[in-house]
Amino acid sequence: MKEEDAEHGTYASYQQCLKRPEGTCEPCRKAGAEYMRQWRKDRPLAYGRERAKTNARGRAWARLAHMQPTLFQALYQEELERGEAS
């Protein structure tokens, strides 16, 4: 798809551009980044909550792995092998 075939440089076109095998074009990449910048600016509380949840999840996983290292290692290995099989 040539960049002049369709509209580019908007958040909507960015969503479409993401699906291209060659990846996003420069105008769409910029539009996507600007959208996210604006999103974080408009919703600092929601963004902060999401980040806090992600951080808490990471810490909980680390603690679980520390408490149950053998079980965690076995599950991790199982998932790695499953990932390779599919």
Footprint of Zn ion (CB under 5 A): 8, 17, 25, 28
Q: How far is the CB of 18 from Zn ion (least distance, A)?
A: 9
Q: Which is nearer to Zn ion, 11 or 47 (CB)?
A: 11
Q: How far is the CB of 42 from Zn ion (least distance, A)?
A: 24
How far apart are alpha carbons 66 and 49 in whole angstroms? 26
Angle between helices 26-42 and 44-67 (to 10 degrees): 90
Q: How far is the CB of 2 from Zn ion (least distance, A)?
A: 10
How far apart are alpha carbons 56 and 69 in whole angstroms? 19
